[in-house]
């Protein structure tokens, strides 16, 4: 008997005969396209979807066919033809080729992990996963997460989404062939129903920034570890940005301060903004209208923010989309906004944080100067000694005012700690091509451990040159940066 699912969908169970093998109880989700079913068969047989020939009533099963018209019934046996990807066998004595290695070793040899099959307008999800998958500390935190370790504070769907993320990251690391993120997509839609919206029977394109934000928020709730009396979130440690804000009213001279945390900075785009840095400055200033107790009426307040706590990985969203009433959709700002491979945000920090960053920044300059054959300044040596004494008295700090955490990056033989400097290096770019956030195409561009860049266009990883990555800055209909992720440049002290 077929099972009823969400959105009125049904699940059919069929058997599939391929060569001499029969795969029983293969599930078909009739709310999804036959291409998704072919991705499932790829996992079972190793036959890529484009090589699969599945016999149904009336001919071959097409990728975009409607299941209702195909006429597949519960318990039916389907015949599939197609050749699996072959691994070339090397001679007993001779050179070892990449194809002869175990798949996990092939990943190392190739220099990048697998691509992700598009399951029907899921490029927004695939590009988000590829960018976050590039963060080794996030992978480490996921590896430590127990499948049965759900706490009472965490809801079941958040737990399942965390487990699905952990499994998908593991699959990407083990494979060079494309991975079908079926389980992750299913749980993502269950946790956040907006990603399961249908239009004319097909899943709709979604906003990659919304997917990124929702996934990080969920992981911030689940990936916590008890440390003394407080719970530390691995996600907040890695991506959390602290902002100190001053809110004041020019009319009444009222003033207040506020501290908030976020996982991304906004780069606001206007006719004055030509560079990321300018857009970030605009993003840290805003106007809001609220009731003024002194005036007894609504008044305009100015809000100015400064960064008071830095993350290991700085996420920046280009605010390229706005709601256009005439077309009833998110329209896109195509303006070109340049962004650098190296980003220094020292001038966007609070005065207190700037003081903490001064010595690590000088140490970093001296280290980079040594590589160029320059002598370190005497000033930095003496101030470094004084600063270390100050840190010993106050308790160790990672440069953001937070306690240092035991990530692998910080463990060094000399027991020195890695300190943030306010300088960041670009490690991932999520781009969008098209005129609307809910249409077009999303792609991830990710820097690998070997320093090379890979464009992850769904299931197709393509090597790219580093100098071409900063050309994704907009100004036309080509791919343009929507989210940039920078990694902190740290120095031991």
Residues known to be catalytic: 123, 441
Q: With contact defined as beta carbons under 8 Å apart, do 223 and 141 qualify? A: yes
Q: Which residues contact 281 (CB under 8 A, 6 or more apart)?
A: 348
How far is the C-alpha of 315 from the C-alpha of 343, rounded, in Å?
12
Cα-based distances in Å from 189 to 6, 19, 195, 214, 400: 10, 35, 5, 11, 35
């Amino acid at each position: 008997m077929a099972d009823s699912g969400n959105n009125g969908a049904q699940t059919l169970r069929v058997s599939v005969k391929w060569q001499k093998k029969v795969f029983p109880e293969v599930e078909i989700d009739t709310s999804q396209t036959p291409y998704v079913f072919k991705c499932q068969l790829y996992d079972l047989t190793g036959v890529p979807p484009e090589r699969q020939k599945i016999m149904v009533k009336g001919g071959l099963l097409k990728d975009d066919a409607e299941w209702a018209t195909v006429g597949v019934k519960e318990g039916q046996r389907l015949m599939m033809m197609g050749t699996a990807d072959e691994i070339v066998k090397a001679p007993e004595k001779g050179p070892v080729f990449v194809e002869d290695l175990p798949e996990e070793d092939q990943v190392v040899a190739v220099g990048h992990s697998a691509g992700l099959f598009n399951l029907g307008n899921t490029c927004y999800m695939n590009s988000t996963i590829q960018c976050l998958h590039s963060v080794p500390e996030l992978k480490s935190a996921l590896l430590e997460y127990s499948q049965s370790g759900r706490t009472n504070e965490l809801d079941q769907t958040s737990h399942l989404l965390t487990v699905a993320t952990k499994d998908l990251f593991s699959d990407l690391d083990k494979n060079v062939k494309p991975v079908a993120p079926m389980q992750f997509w299913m749980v993502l839609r269950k946790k956040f129903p907006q990603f399961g919206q249908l239009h004319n029977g097909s899943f709709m394109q979604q906003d990659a920034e919304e997917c990124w934000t929702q996934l990080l928020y969920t992981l911030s709730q689940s990936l916590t570890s008890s440390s003394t009396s407080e719970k530390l979130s691995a996600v907040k440690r890695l991506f959390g940005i602290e902002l100190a804000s001053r809110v004041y009213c020019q009319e009444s001279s009222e003033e207040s301060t506020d501290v908030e945390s976020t996982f991304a900075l906004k780069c606001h785009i206007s006719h004055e903004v030509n560079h990321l840095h300018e857009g970030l400055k605009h993003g840290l200033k805003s106007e809001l209208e609220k009731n003024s107790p002194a005036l007894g009426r609504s008044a305009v307040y100015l809000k100015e923010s400064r960064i008071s706590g830095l993350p290991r990985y700085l996420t920046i969203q280009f605010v390229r989309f706005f709601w256009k009433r005439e077309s009833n959709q998110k329209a896109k700002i195509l303006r070109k906004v340049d962004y650098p491979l190296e980003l220094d945000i020292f001038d966007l920090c609070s005065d207190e944080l700037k003081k903490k960053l001064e010595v690590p920044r000088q140490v970093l300059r001296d280290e980079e100067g040594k590589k160029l054959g320059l002598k370190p300044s005497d000033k930095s040596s003496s101030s470094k000694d004084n600063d270390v004494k100050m840190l010993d008295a106050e308790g160790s700090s990672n440069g953001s005012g937070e306690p240092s955490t035991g990530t692998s990056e910080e463990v060094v033989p000399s027991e020195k700690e890695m300190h943030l400097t306010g300088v960041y290096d670009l490690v991932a770019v999520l781009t969008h091509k098209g005129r609307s956030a809910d249409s077009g195409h999303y792609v991830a561009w990710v820097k690998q451990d070997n320093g090379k860049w890979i464009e992850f266009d769904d299931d197709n990883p393509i090597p790219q040159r580093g100098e071409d990555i900063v050309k994704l800055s907009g100004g036309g209909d080509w791919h343009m940066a929507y989210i940039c992720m920078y990694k902190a440049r740290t120095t031991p002290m």
